[in-house]
Structure 1
């Protein structure tokens, strides 16, 4: 299941929700955020790969709920996190922390912060599924003002690594190859872009 619709929160957001594509890879996280009033504590940790849209989702969530969003939480000052967590409980306004890993794998020095974070729900954005990868490639291509037929996008999608970073890299490569050839993204352009990432037809047959 993949969709590019408004996120299912009840309030308007300042940031354009259409930039976030909901799919099976992130739907569980979105639904958890939607029901923030039912959280056992007024905080959640959102994990997921880099470039997965977790920062965008966090900003949308904060705009809609009036809560607080802290990105790269595992790198932030522990006193800041401790006070933000306590304030969320006192004010009954949700705190969302985004991080690469769940708190159990952080190096937390403050015992009180560790106990609080270990009691905090964790939701994850997973690696992109096939449909999400396809939609993200399409979206990024369109954002660059490029043109690619659906079969070309599909040709690329089935040949790249299933990661958000790889999706960004292939669109960069497609952009460069199309600019060099001064033409839309054809199969020939796609093959050239894939080759810059070390993916050839022989490589693909081994995947």
Structure 2
């Protein structure tokens, strides 16, 4: 993170990162602890915390909720402000009733902070982590993303996708976008066949995994 960078502290209404407010926050084992900790500001050792999670994981939505529920401030990405601005935001948070949340891809130890006083302060922050989605969260997020596009998805489509995909938020967003384009291009309702053909043709699911999961199960 360069100390020469300039910018303002990002507030919720300025965020345009694809995590729109019309998608509800879906809770699961990967994010429940982070959500819980964001509501326990009084237990933080300092008035600043870092929320670490991959893009598309709902982290900015969690930041919006944090601002709404605590009256705090959010820096959406350490690269969005200069180190001097972050240092001043830290000090302001300690001196006021407005806690500071920094949203990032990685913990502060990976930011390459040049300002010694800021590096020292960041070494004391609690870090809350969003993990990759479990099966239930992945399925619910796929359905929510399609609903945002105005496409009501039958449960069997999301249930088909989840065991065949790479388990990541990035892949969920890629899959939903690809299937949305395919359904519009062909003018078809999105069913299992179109889902399978689209995802296999674009390499979004592994052919061997798909074949193994598509094979009829036998009983002894």
- With the shorter chain as reference, the TM-score category is 0.7 to 0.9
Identify if the C-alpha distance between structure 1 residues 150 and 115 changes in structure 2 by more than 3 Å, giving closer, same or farther. same
Match of 1:161 in 2: 166
Match of 1:177 in 2: 182
Unaligned runs of 5+ in 1: 1-12
- Give how far 1:92 is off: 2.6
Tell me the SS of whatever aligns to 2:147. helix
Distance 2:43 2:22 in 1: 23
Distance 1:18 1:187 in 2: 24
Aligned pair 1:48/2:53, yes or no?
Answer: yes
Aligned pair 1:124/2:93, yes or no?
Answer: no
Match of 1:204 in 2: 210
Provide TM-score, normalisation by structure 1: 0.87
- Give how far 1:99 is off: 0.6
- Give how far 1:71 is off: 0.6
Match of 2:33 in 1: 28
- Give how far 1:206 is off: 7.2
Distance 1:174 1:24 in 2: 27
Unaligned runs of 5+ in 2: 1-11, 14-19, 214-220
Q: Which has the higher contact order (CA 8 A, sep 6+)?
A: 2
- Give how far 1:55 is off: 1.0
- Give how far 1:18 is off: 5.9
Q: Deviations over 1:23-52 (max 9, x none)?
A: 111001011011112211001000011111
Show structure 1 runs of 4+ deviating over 4 A.
13-18
Q: RMSD of aligned C-alpha atoms?
A: 2.1
Size of the aligned set, in residue pairs, is 195
Aligned pair 1:186/2:200, yes or no?
Answer: no
Tell me the SS of whatever aligns to 2:61. helix
Distance 2:108 2:78 in 1: 9
Distance 2:21 2:181 in 1: 27
